[in-house]
């Protein structure tokens, strides 16, 4: 069961990274506007999950429960990510995501202003 959780979390992680890249693609080129709500929405939902789970990843909590590990022990819940990177993922990805969203919104605002 832990392997299923690891595969699911790895896929969600990859989709979140692709979402951030998609946000930047739109911000820089204007391509992918229809998918922009998904690009922005997935990382926002992940952030909400972190907030609602006291800063811990929901999948990490499930992995601990499946392995009967104590709350302070990290359990591998991603197939490829070492603990040091996994624990810092929100700190690493939040600034590029926020900047990508800001630039995307600026592109939309500028487009709307020029076409008004």
Which residue from 48, 43, 49 is spatially nearest to 13, judged by alpha carbons?
Answer: 43
pLDDT over 90 (residue 17): yes
Structure tokens at 107: 């592109």
Q: What is the pLDDT at residue 73? A: 85
What is the mean pLDDT of the segment spanning 70-89?
A: 87
CA distance 51 to 49: 5
CA distance 53 to 34: 31
Confidence label for 56 from pLDDT (cuts 50, 70 and 90): confident
Q: What is the pLDDT at residue 81? A: 87
Mean pLDDT across the chain: 92
Confidence label for 116 from pLDDT (cuts 50, 70 and 90): low
Which residue from 90, 89, 62, 88 is spatially nearest to 76, judged by alpha carbons?
Answer: 62
């Amino acid at each position: 069961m832990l392997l299923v959780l690891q595969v699911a979390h790895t896929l969600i992680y990859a989709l979140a990274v692709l979402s951030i890249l998609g946000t930047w693609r739109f911000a820089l080129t204007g391509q992918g506007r229809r998918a922009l709500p998904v690009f922005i929405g997935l990382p926002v939902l992940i952030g909400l999950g972190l907030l609602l789970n006291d800063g811990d990843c929901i999948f990490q909590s499930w992995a601990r429960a499946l392995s009967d590990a104590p709350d302070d022990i990290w359990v591998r819940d991603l197939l490829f990510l070492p603990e040091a990177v996994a624990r810092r993922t929100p700190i690493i990805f939040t600034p590029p995501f926020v900047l990508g969203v800001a630039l995307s919104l600026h592109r939309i605002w500028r487009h709307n202003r020029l076409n008004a």
